[in-house]
Structures are given as structure tokens and as C-alpha cells.
Structure 1
Amino acid sequence: MPIITIKTIINAPAQRCFDLSRSIDLHQISTIETKERAIAGKTSGLIGLNETVTWQAKHFGITQKLTSKITAFDSPSYFVDEMVSGAFKAFRHEHFFEMIHDQTEMTDRFDYTSPLGIIGKLFDNIVLEKYMFSLLYKRNQVIKEFAESNKWKKVLSV
């Protein structure tokens, strides 16, 4: 069961980073390469506790759907989204936000299990873990870019 942890330092308030991280609209901007879009549940705005979103995206040449639910929420320091249905056997994505001096340390902890037993583990080792790290890293860079500029105003109500 791989666990991916990524820390990103952002020169912006924790509340802004927290809200950008739960923005459906910014998520779609950050995943433009995989054509990810919200098709059911919460499809725009800010997702909150006990809300679900169903994403459709193209990964490895295959169009896939994944539904996740916000299962824990403590604004502006922490939230968790967990897979309800989709290609993984399971996943839990924890998002932490901590103000350190005038910066936000944003930490993602993505804990997932691939399907297909030993074949899934082999796929993790060869491809999937690096692929997921890259997706999460790119997403965090977009959050950082928007949070540190006026772009955040495009996706968050002022």
C-alpha cells in the first residue's frame, strides 16, 4: 500500500490554500492534461464535509470515473477525501495546512491500494506510484501559483 507525501511551502494564508485545495474549479484547471471534470455530486465551487464529487478523466488512455467523499473537515487546517468508487481498491487523501511564520506548509498524504493483488503491486512499483506523485505535485504547484498571485480570485469568491 503506497503512501505518497508531498510538502509545499506557499507564501499565502492557510485559509486561502485550504479553500483552493477543495475548489472543484481549480482541481479541473490543475488536471487539464487528463481532461478531468466533475460530472456528478458537487460539480463546482468548494466541496465540504460529507459532500461527494464524481470525476471523469483519462488516465493511461482509458476514460475512468472516480467518486470521492469529504470524510473529515477542520477549516483551515485539515480535510480528508476518500474514494467511494473508482479504479483503486481504496484511497485516503489527507490535506494538512499549517502556518509557519508568514507561510503555509501544505502537506498531502495520499494512501492508496491498487486493485488486482500482486499485479496491482507490480504496476505500482513500475508506473502508478510515480504517476500519482507527478499528478499530485503538479496540482500542488497550481495551488501555489494561484495562492501566491491574484489568480486565486478567479476561483474563490472575494
Structure 2
Amino acid sequence: MIDFKKHSGIHSIKTEQVLNIPLGKAWDFFSSPGNLEEITPLNMGFQITSELNKKVYAGQVITYKIGILPGIKSSWVTEITQLKNQEYFIDEQRFGPYKMWHHEHWFKALPNGKTLMKDEISYKVPFGIIGSLAQQIFIRKKLKSIFEYRYAALERMFNGG
């Protein structure tokens, strides 16, 4: 499920997915930044450029290169601003393609060893009316395709799909 909304010039995306793995295994996977490449479309040219610790921690700064348009790469710097072990972590853009990016990753143990994973993203596009037009024409579609790809990748990896 992917839900898009807009409020006060800020766009939000909410996704959720049940994974057929226990909470500890889900947390281990998602709290290891190096695994992000496995669930990101190849055509984005996504590359982590900072040294990585095994697990995320509050205050950690992670740098990336991403393809924002064909042939155009952008640097992206995020910080893990908050973390509660096996419950949630939040990354926020410090520098990058958005005017604002706030991404909450939530995890909850379910019966029978499954995990509910939720993402809540709030973002604002730059460049005023030009950015708003870009949001309508391709940014929303691009983000939708990224989260659809991620959903399918996680289904294959953890749900036998």
C-alpha cells in the first residue's frame, strides 16, 4: 500500500508491508544501511559514498550519490536523527535534491513471527512553482515507482513472492 497526500506544501507518503520474518531479523536488515542498495532500483545509480558502520545510530551521517534524471547524479546527505532499537529510526536530509526530507521507518512484531513495517515520509520540493510542476509531472511518479520496486523486492526476499 502506498498513500500520497499533500498538506501546507508538504507531500507525504505512507507505506506498509507485512514481512514473513521476525522483528529481530527485519531490524537487522533495515538498520544496516548497506542493504538499501538491494531494495533500490538499479536505474537510480544509487551508491553509498560514506563509510558505514554495521548498524544505524542516532547522529550517523550517511552520504549517497543518486540519479535524479538520466545522466544527472546528485549528492544526498542524510542524518539518522532518532532511533529506538527494534521500533523505529528516522533519517532526515541535510543536503540533497529535496527542500525537506523526513523519513520514519517503523517496525512492529506481529503474531506468528511476522513483522509490520511502515514508512512515513514527509518531503518538500525545491524551486517554487517549477518544483511543484516537477512534482506533478515526475517526482510523485518516480517516488511511487521506487516504493513499488522496494515492495516487490521485499516480497521476493522475505515473503517468497
Q: 1:144 to 1:73 in 2, by over 3 A?
A: farther
CA offsets, 1:99-122, max 9 Å, x none?
A: 221221100111100000121112
For 1:58, which of 52, 60, 67 is the aligned residue?
Answer: 67
Change (3 A) 1:21 1:145: farther
Instruction: State the distance in 1 between where 2:35 and 2:152 align.
Output: 12
Tell me the TM-score normalized by structure 1.
0.84
Change (3 A) 1:146 1:45: farther
Instruction: Give, in whole Å, the separation in 2 of the partners of 1:137 and 1:45.
Output: 26
% identity of equivalent residues: 23
Q: Equivalent residue for 2:7?
A: none
- Helix, strand or coil: the match of 1:73? strand
Q: By how many angstroms is 1:125 displaced?
A: 1.7
Q: Which has the higher contact order (CA 8 A, sep 6+)?
A: 1
If the length of structure 2 is used for normalisation, what is the TM-score? 0.83
Q: Which runs of 5+ in 2 are unaligned?
A: 1-9
Q: Give runs of aligned pairs for residues 119-158 of structure 1, distance below 5 A.
A: 119-148=130-159
What is aligned with 1:104?
Answer: 115
Q: Larger deviation: 132-141 or 94-103?
A: 132-141
Local SS of the residue matching 2:49: strand
Partner of 1:3: 12
Does the 8 Å contact 1:72/1:81 carry over to 2?
A: yes
Moved over 4 A (4+): none
Q: Tell me how far 1:59 sits from its aligned partner.
A: 2.1
Q: 1:91 aligns with which of 81, 87, 101?
A: 101
The farther-off stretch of 18-27 and 79-88 is: 18-27
Give me the whole-angstrom Cα distance separating, in 1, the residues matched to 2:32 and 2:153. Answer: 12
Aligned residues between the structures: 148
What is the CA–CA distance in structure 1 between the aligned matches of 2:53 and 2:66, rounded to whole Å? 16
Please state how far the C-alpha of 1:141 moved relative to its aligned partner: 3.6
**Counterpart residue type for residue 12 of structure 1:** I
* 1:118 alignment counterpart: 129
Gaps of 5+ in 1: 150-158
